Amino acid sequence: MFIVILHSSFTIMDPLMKLNANFAFKLLRTLDDDTSKNVLLAPLSITSILAMTLLGAKGTTARQISQTISLDKCSSDECGDVHQGFQSLLNEVNKNDAGHILKTTNSLLVEKTSHVRASFIDSCRKFYGAEIEELDFQGATEQSRQHINTWVAKKTEGKITELLSPGSVNSNTRLVLANAFYFKGYWEKPFNKEDTREMPFKVSKNKTKPVQMMFQKSTFKMTYVEEISTKILLLPYTGNVLNMIIMLPDEHVELSMLKKKMTYEKFVEWTSLDKVNEEEVEVFLPRFKLEESYDMNDVLCKLGMTDAFEEDRANFSGMSSKQGLFLSKVIHKGIVEVNEMGTKVAAATEIVMMGEPPTTNRFVVDHPFLYTLIDIRSKRTLFFGQFISP
């Protein structure tokens, strides 16, 4: 889920998928100020809504937005028309295969007294499939906030019910650009609930917390990358189109090291199907549910997108005929749930951990790790995160 609130004082897809992934890694590193926190990002939500904002930006404001989401590294010959590229990418994402639900929806919510250009609205509808709606931010601020939260809840099937907290919109709000991202998938090889048991998770060298650890012994694609001292496991969803990739560094390796080395090219190389072996493995994976919310203003400013947040510097003249339109709040919120049956973005058997002969490989996710959901055919990154603590 990604939302942008603006206040007023008065094979084009391949390069975009690469930029989308690199932007996700850049965000992950920027959010690394506190390495003790879990992270959940839906990069496509962020890039698509900022690209939609770019439709109405001009001058330095447009250039900074473009640089922040790395579009400046994409030549016109390589990317062609960026907005047509996002149109194709979003259409492709919303084509659901059997075994999972995956959808992203954009909305344009306009103050009814503002003068938003018809050309901007038409472009948002054409390229981003945006739903257009007028609201009374000036006269009915609280009702407008609740209306947006209701829209978000509907698009995420009730998983995110309070995206906008009280006071996050006011009578100066003129335009809200919102994106809802929702995923629900079932494992190709589900875990047996009877095999789930409580086990310790090593949050740090000197601290552990209990988790409900799922278990199964089966055949999966797995590899070890010496360059980053990391095990990689691919867990397919029904249909074998989408995979959750677990990247588990050796216990002495910090996640920050892994993130510093991560680029789109490296990620594709490390997870390439012709380099990943299929073998029998015992998988121990925590059952977890995360709900993370970010005020992205400072993060985007750190990445160079500063003018858009300043009333006297922002240039959104392609969006509105009125002066003084600027970004007030950028909020990103996501929910992911991983359990025995599968994933939402949204014990009778004793398992002995020590003392057994090493007859099979083990993938024991009992310390901090990175995870991502990708389309294995296109390497499209749908969400990305780090799990530090239950």
Task: Residue 27: give its domain's CATH number.
Answer: 3.30.497.10
Under DSSP, the state recorded for 162 is -
Residues 181 and 34 occupy one common structural domain: yes
Per-position DSSP letters for 189-206, written without gaps between them: SPPPGGG-EEEEEEEETT
Task: Please report the pLDDT score of residue 210 as a whole number.
Answer: 92
Confidence of residue 23 (pLDDT cuts 50, 70, 90): confident
Burial of 157 (0-12, 13-18, 19+ CB in 10 A): middle
Residue 365 neighbours by CB distance under 10 Å: 21
Per-residue model confidence as pLDDT tens digits over 107-161: 878 888 878 888 988 998 898 888 888 889 889 999 988 998 888 888 877 887 8
67: Cβ contacts below 8 Å, ≥ 6 apart:
304, 305
Confidence of residue 274 (pLDDT cuts 50, 70, 90): low
Per-position DSSP letters for 238-284, written without gaps between them: TTSSEEEEEEEE-TTS-HHHHHHH--HHHHHHHH-TTTSEEEEEEEE
Residues 283 and 294 occupy one common structural domain: no
Q: Are 270 and 242 in contact (CB under 8 A)?
A: no
Per-residue model confidence as pLDDT tens digits over 345-362: 432 112 222 333 334 588
Per-residue model confidence as pLDDT tens digits over 49-93: 888 889 989 999 999 998 888 777 665 544 457 888 888 877 777
Residues 344 and 295 occupy one common structural domain: no
| Torsion from C-alpha of 184, 345, 129, 100, nearest 10 degrees | -10
Report field, pTM of the whole predicted structure over 0.75:
yes
Burial of 167 (0-12, 13-18, 19+ CB in 10 A): exposed
Residues 194 and 237 occupy one common structural domain: yes
| Count of structural domains, the chain | 2
Highest mean predicted confidence (pLDDT) among 22-31, 157-166, 169-178, 298-307: 298-307
Range of the domain at 249: 187-287+338-387
Residues 308 and 243 occupy one common structural domain: no
Residues 280 and 260 occupy one common structural domain: yes
Residues 301 and 377 occupy one common structural domain: no
79: Cβ contacts below 8 Å, ≥ 6 apart:
12, 15, 16, 71, 85
Residues 324 and 380 occupy one common structural domain: no
Task: Residue 254: give its domain's CATH number.
Answer: 2.30.39.10
> Has residue 245 got a pLDDT over 70?
yes
- The runs of H, that is alpha helices, within the chain are 13-30, 43-54, 59-68, 76-79, 82-93, 118-128, 141-155, 255-261, 264-271, 297-302
Give backbone dihedrals phi and psi of 340, rounded to 5 degrees, phi first. Answer: -65, -30
Distance from first CA to last CA of the chain, Å, rounded?
Answer: 22
Task: Please report the pLDDT score of residue 35 as a whole number.
Answer: 56
Question: Residue 329 is encoded by which pair of tokens?
Answer: 């709040």
Residues 132 and 253 occupy one common structural domain: no
Per-residue model confidence as pLDDT tens digits over 249-259: 998 888 888 88
Task: Please report the pLDDT score of residue 338 as a whole number.
Answer: 79
Residues 263 and 250 occupy one common structural domain: yes
Q: Are 100 and 239 in contact (CB under 8 A)?
A: yes
Distance CA 168, CA 227 (A): 45
Residues 269 and 177 occupy one common structural domain: no
Residues 221 and 354 occupy one common structural domain: yes
